[in-house]
Structure 1
Amino acid sequence: MKVRKLQQRRGWAFSIAVAIVKPALLATTRHDWIDGEKIPASGGFILVLNHVSHIDPLTAAHVVYDHGRLPRYLAKSGLFKNKALAYFLGAAGQIPVERLSRNAIGAYDAAVRAVQQGECVVVYPEGTITRDPGQWPMTGKSGAARIALATGCPVIPVGQWGAQDLLAPYAKKPDLFPRKLVTMKVGDPVDLSDLLGLPPSHDVTQRATDRIMAAITALVEDVRGEKAPAERFNMRKAGLPETGNPYKKAKKSKKERP
């Protein structure tokens, strides 16, 4: 695995995070970074990947950092309710987003500015941990596509697998031993060139989103050595809530039944 030295100034928040998080990850995971050199060494871009665990933002940050970049996340606004944590996340350049809210437009604007300023912005297009029964990527939301179409920046897809073994979806405790293998495969930039000159529309954004999810899914197939379902899982069609723990709510609803 080839790694790049970080060229950016980390700042105090990232320095503290690296000192705490990286040793913890090395103690609990083994990692296989495939084609990590495809992460741009400089310039603004979006990194998009599938979401399988609450811990995978840390493992994603690990691969980005190992290849010389600092990740800027679109982080759910609930993390910013604690003043101390909000101060820390803000100092690390993380971007709060209020999901399913009109205020999400502010996060979009901040992400566009970050890309234009040469930053690496990490986006989970699914918007939440996958609810697909086989943990395959679901249908995507439009955020990453909209940022890409607005900026013309590279969209770098990543397929990942293994973080869910360290912390299963919505589990309260991690499974620390033995160390878990986390694999991340970085793909070529998603080709959106034919869409960049078109007038903005729902159709154009959806086409870009579909290409992004197709690229991520193909990489996950490579990492897992399996074939994904022909149709991606859709939370709305399945009647599942788009935020929170759907399994916890399902159990509660059973108790409330007469």
Structure 2
Amino acid sequence: MGEPRGSRAMFTFLASWVRPVMNAMMAKEWRGQERLPQGTGMIVCPNHVTEIDPIVVGHFLYNQGVMPHFMAKASLFSVPVIGSILRVIRQVPVERSSAGANRSLEAAREVLADNGGIIIYPEGTLTRDPDMWPMKGRTGAARLALQTGAPVVPIAQWGAHEVFPRYAKRFHLIPRKRARVLVGDPVDLSEFRGAPLTRTTLDAATERILDAITELLAELRGEPSPTERWDPAAKQQKSTGRDFGATGGNAGDPPSAEESGAAS
């Protein structure tokens, strides 16, 4: 099995103009490609520091022969042209309802069965950590991994935020920046497999994934990571949106697409 012909053709078309633009904008330093699992679908979990790092991660994976499929907000699929493209290349819509969640899981299973890569940001949105370390995460990636048995590949990326800072309004192209990507070994979740998918199990598996990403990021940055993970709720920050310095939302609000790990 493999990526359907129509999807692969669209990826090829998009890459024909995205890759030259990315190469012009930033130099590349990619390491750890040999750690990507071969001949199987995978769940890829990167850190999230800027709106453009999904393109960096997608560029990296595509160049390794892994078709990138993001868990994306369902609302994007209703946007003219963009929605059609997302459907052709089999990006996975994340919806709030139970029925929608089941459809998302089935779509993700199909991508994994075709040896594709499902990219899920465990943080759910751009990190709120002032120093841009991975913050407390959402459980979507861990849940999908434990439901499907797919390997979870941690990826740290750093540098794209210098070109387009978090929630910026313009690009900073001069001097030329470098986008660095480091792949880690698949996260060992064996102790959680077969266990009931309780909040305790999912939180522990999510922490295991975030620990792996943070360790890779510390290597990329050449500095020690914080001893305590940033928790937006404890800091009375909003979980979504640009204005995340103030408290927002209610404890009883339904989970958003970002809470499921959709790219922001």
| Cα drift, residue 42 of structure 1 | 2.0
In the other structure, the counterpart of 2:211 is 214
**Does 2:201 align with 1:204?**
yes
In the other structure, the counterpart of 2:180 is 183
**Does 2:16 align with 1:19?**
yes
User: What is the distance in 1 between the residues matched to 2:70 and 2:202?
Assistant: 21
How many residues are matched? 242
Q: Which has the higher helix share?
A: 1
Amino acid at match of 2:123: E
Q: Alignment partner of 2:81: what SS? A: helix
| Cα drift, residue 177 of structure 1 | 2.1
| Cα drift, residue 167 of structure 1 | 0.6
In the other structure, the counterpart of 2:132 is 135
User: What is the distance in 1 between the residues matched to 2:236 and 2:97?
Assistant: 19
Aligned pairs (5 A) from 1:164-179:
164-179=161-176
| Cα drift, residue 13 of structure 1 | 2.1
Match 2:230 to one of 233, 254, 257: 233
Q: Alignment partner of 1:148: what SS? A: helix
TM-score, normalising length: structure 1: 0.88
| Cα drift, residue 108 of structure 1 | 3.4
| Cα drift, residue 244 of structure 1 | 1.4
Q: Alignment partner of 1:96: what SS? A: strand
User: What is the distance in 2 between the residues matched to 1:179 and 1:80?
Assistant: 34
In the other structure, the counterpart of 1:113 is 110
The 1:241–1:107 alpha-carbon spacing in structure 2 relative to 1, beyond 3 Å, is farther
In the other structure, the counterpart of 1:148 is 145
TM-score, normalising length: structure 2: 0.86
**Structure 1 range deviating more: 190-199 or 140-149:** 190-199
| Cα drift, residue 111 of structure 1 | 1.9
Match 2:121 to one of 90, 102, 124: 124
8 Å contact from structure 1 (residues 157, 189) kept in 2: yes
**Structure 1 range deviating more: 183-192 or 71-80:** 71-80
In the other structure, the counterpart of 1:97 is 94
* Higher RCO (C-alpha 8 Å, min separation 6): 2
Q: Alignment partner of 1:172: what SS? A: coil
Match 2:242 to one of 241, 245, 257: 245
| Cα drift, residue 105 of structure 1 | 4.8
In the other structure, the counterpart of 1:4 is none
In the other structure, the counterpart of 2:160 is 163
Amino acid at match of 2:182: K
User: What is the distance in 2 between the residues matched to 1:94 and 1:121?
Assistant: 9
| Cα drift, residue 207 of structure 1 | 1.2
Which structure 1 residue ranges, 5 or more long, are not aligned? 1-6, 251-258
In the other structure, the counterpart of 1:42 is 39
User: What is the distance in 1 between the residues matched to 2:94 and 2:26?
Assistant: 29
Amino acid at match of 2:80: K
| Cα drift, residue 172 of structure 1 | 1.6
Amino acid at match of 1:28: M
Which structure 2 residue ranges, 5 or more long, are not aligned? 247-264
| Cα drift, residue 62 of structure 1 | 1.2
8 Å contact from structure 1 (residues 112, 150) kept in 2: no
| Cα drift, residue 101 of structure 1 | 6.1
User: What is the distance in 1 between the residues matched to 2:65 and 2:50?
Assistant: 24
8 Å contact from structure 1 (residues 41, 67) kept in 2: no
In the other structure, the counterpart of 1:83 is 80
Identity of aligned residues (%): 39
Q: CA RMSD in A?
A: 1.8
The 1:242–1:112 alpha-carbon spacing in structure 2 relative to 1, beyond 3 Å, is farther
